[in-house]
Structure 1
Amino acid sequence: MHHRLIAPYSYGALYTHPVDTFVGEMVGALMATHVSGMSPRMAGVFISLLSLKSLDDHCGMWFPNHPIHRWMTNNTAFHILHHQNVGIKYNYSIFYFATWDRLLGTYLPFSVEPRKDGGYQLRTAKDE
């Protein structure tokens, strides 16, 4: 369901199938917090930060001086490309870095370039 969204927006971050939400989000979060030994308070902070990052990834807005977009490999542009037809089989990594995409060959390099009339556009090697 989630990848039916070609143009991501913040509410779309939560547009998932109930089974995917239960298994991928709830069970995964419980396992991660249990295995790592996080306190309930730390788990709440951790899950809140992950939720905010997911909303940022799906907001569809590229801010060139955004501190997170500057130093994180996986940023809004990375995730917007993932939702496009050209990138649907690439850039799966979520949350912070594209480590698994690089290791498994699913990383699609891109650049964010200013448009002549304002705004920004994504360019990939597949566009050329």
Structure 2
Amino acid sequence: MPAFFFSNNINMKVIKLNQLEQFKCVPRQYPNSTDELSVKLKNELTNAMIDLVFTFSVSASYLNIVITDVPADFESGNRYEITISNITNNNDLVYLGKMLVVDDNTDVQNYEYKQQSNSRYEF
């Protein structure tokens, strides 16, 4: 199995509940519109594996994934590892990443570090 390099600055995908559940990413390899993809999620807390039901499109250099059947496991605060593979092309790896599920009223755009309740620099 090949080794993959992950930096500490992984771009976390955020899904808001009760809204259009979708995310976009920059794939390692761009699939064709006729390719069959597989999106697997691994719950980091329970290690449960989920095969997503989804549609995809490629636009503006992004792979857009729209979840058409929201898994029952999606609850606010759950974190997942994302693995997207191209089934048509010998299960080639398309994307690896992380995802967080939050409530629909969570303001992720205007989060400020100073509002965090635990400091990184406590003595």
Q: Which structure ranks higher in relative contact order (CA pairs < 8 Å, sequence separation ≥ 6)? A: 2
Structure 1 or 2: more strand by fraction: 2
TM superposition score normalised by structure 1: 0.26
TM superposition score normalised by structure 2: 0.27
